Amino acid sequence: MTSTAIITGIKGQDGSYLAELLLSKGYQVHGVVRPSHTYQRPTHTQNNIPSTLQQTIPLPVEHHRFSIHEVDLLEQTSVRQLLLDTQPSEYYHLAAMSCVPRSWDDPVGCAETNAIATLHALEAIRTVDPTIRFLQAGSAEMFGKPIASPQCELTPFRPRNPYASSKVMSHHLACNYREQYRLFACNAILFNHESPRRPNEFVSRKITQAVARIKFNLQNELRLGNVEAMRDWGYAGDYVEAMWRILQHDKADDFVIGTGQFHKVSDIVNLAFNFVGLDPAKYVVIDPAFSRPEHGCQLVADSSKARKQLDWRPQVTFPELITMMIKSDLALIEQQLNQPDSTADRFVA
């Protein structure tokens, strides 16, 4: 029997990798995007649906197990209808406003997008089909200024921004519906995870894209804030594997997902510049405008529970991840340069 899954946020980094994973496992996949009339698309948004999955509806026969649905996740009736139409066995809730600075610009919109949409999904599952397995994608930002390091499932949340606060609410909603209504509702507390599909508003992709542009003489410098800041960075492809394993577990539960290792921003810088044979000291400019307050304790994952209960562990190392990203950005720019009508100003993510 073919399993059916809904993935909200299908055009994002995680959504696209998860779609590829589930399709490889024989799933029927229903990706959800917001209706085009409900929002002004930001200029930085990139379409991460791989070329092998990009299509219009009706779908070509070779992609008969993948479809896109325009659904306003803030409308309860629309979410209920989606469940009735698709009859999924699994629901991966990845849609979110995930950029911390943007959450300060629009805290109300962030709360609605990240928390109220979760509530609508859970309520729709409760009333339409309580057997649907639900995964809420959380964030290490929920730990905020942690009281201890590393962080595990029992570490208290101390959110320090609207994005983190909205994710904490979503986390507790999933726990509430699991306890009160016996839904199979789970939380994946995801530490930083990157890939070539990461938007360039995040520092890892900002660096690798800038280094590629510098290599092709399309950019003269890379402006960064605190290059000593440390994070637990992993590969998005590994993390969506963890999401899938969480919903295959015999018990609904919450899991911290991360590598357990932290690296400095400067480590990304050095790896990327070394790959293209350039000296970062000649191009990196420290700009306080890009600095964010650092935490008292380092954000680093204790994912021992996931390793033990899910038999999950990251497969891609940090150097392999940065190499993958810089190779991808170099190839992207080279491809665009070889187009007859290409201009330097067009090279954005």
Q: Which two tokens stand for residue 25?
A: 């496992």
Which whole-number Å values give the CA distances from 266 to 141, 156, 183, 194, 273, in the listed order? 21, 29, 43, 16, 10
Closest CA to 9 of 103, 129, 135: 135
- The residues carrying an active-site annotation are 139, 141, 163
Q: Which two tokens stand for residue 215?
A: 């290599």
Cβ(280)–Cβ(225) below 8 Å: no
Q: What phi-psi label fits residue 249: left (phi over 0), alpha (psi between -120 and 50 degrees) or beta?
A: beta
Q: Which two tokens stand for residue 291?
A: 């600095």
Alpha-carbon distance 313 to 233, whole Å? 13
Query: CA 62, 33, 195, 140: dihedral to nearest 10 degrees?
Result: -140
Alpha-carbon distance 269 to 198, whole Å? 16
The neighbour count for residue 149, using CB atoms within 10 Å, is 17
The amino acid present at 202, given as its one-letter code, is: F
The amino acid present at 109, given as its one-letter code, is: G
Helices (H), the chain: 13-24, 76-86, 100-105, 107-111, 117-128, 162-181, 203-215, 236-248, 265-275, 304-309, 318-337
Q: Which two tokens stand for residue 53?
A: 């999955």
